[in-house]
Amino acid sequence: MRSANPALKESTFLDLGSGTVVSRDGDTMSINGTVNKTAFLLVLTVLTAAFAWSQAVGADGQPAPGFGIYAWGGAIGGFVIAMVTIFKKTWAPVTAPLYALVEGFFLGAISALFNAYYEGIVMQAVLLTFGTLFAMLFAYRSGLVRATENFKLGVVAATGGIALVYLATIVLGFFGIQIPMIHESGIVGIGFSLFVVVIAALNLVLDFDFIESGAEQGAPKYMEWYGAFGLMVTLVWLYVEFLRLLAKLQGRD
């Protein structure tokens, strides 16, 4: 049940004292329930993203005065709510919808900006994101891709490496230092983005496996919201990486 997604880690469904799944009376987590809640979270994200899109970028394609509020406010707010959800899983029925709403502001703002520079890029990224989601779901359900222990270890290690690179980029950026090539539109930059997209897509397999394991082991009903939240985290990451990849490809024209 290991997952590279910090929201869906090995101990999520376990009693840390005994190492076994906590038994509870009443309804338990189901795959269909998680799917329905994921769809609901996606709708909430689209609603706030559409609003932020209309407010964050002006008619000239430049960021509007409120761009920073939607972009940075959504990013920081989403991160804070995500941390609260991870540490207070029982709050997921409330915090997961809040995360979707706040993250929508961030996605709408950056999507409008990307689209201003590269018209049509957002629709391409959306189609690629959902196409990847359904392709990986099919591969997982059909057995073409199996979440073996070695597979999980590899994806977790690669995801951790990517996180370190991004963290180093942020820290060095405060000192005016840029990591060469990987964030540019050259061959190395495009190759790096392709690698990140592949790892993000493979994380979907781990998320599917994690959610299925939770349903099979009788996790409490509120974990449907938590599972949907965890899947949303991966989808947001995948969408943003598709935007970056497509921007690099179009930047070479």
Six token digits for residue 21: 């799944």
Amino acid in the structure at residue 250:
Q
First and final C-alpha spacing in the chain: 43
Q: pLDDT tens for residues 92-150?
A: 999 999 999 999 999 999 999 999 889 899 999 999 999 999 999 999 999 888 888 89
For 64-68, 171-175, 249-253, which range has the lowest pLDDT when averaged over its residues? 249-253
98-114 burial code (b ≥16 CB/10 A, e <16): bbbbbbbbbbbbbbbbb
Computed over every residue of the chain, the mean pLDDT equals: 87
Confidence category of residue 174, pLDDT binned at 50, 70, 90: confident
Confidence category of residue 6, pLDDT binned at 50, 70, 90: low
Give domain limits for the chain. 31-251
pLDDT at 44 over 90: yes
| Mean predicted confidence (pLDDT) in 158-172 | 89
| Mean predicted confidence (pLDDT) in 25-52 | 91
128 touches 245 (CB < 8 A): no
pLDDT at 7 over 70: no
Rounded distance, CA 67 to CA 76, Å?
14
Six token digits for residue 174: 């405060």
Question: Which of residues 52 and 11 earns the better pLDDT score?
Answer: 52
Task: Compute CA distances 83 → 7, 80, 158, whole Å.
Answer: 8, 5, 22
Count of CB atoms situated within 10 Å of the CB of 23: 10
| DSSP reduced 3-state for 63 | strand
Confidence category of residue 9, pLDDT binned at 50, 70, 90: low
Sign for the CA dihedral angle at 135, 140, 143, 147 comes to: positive
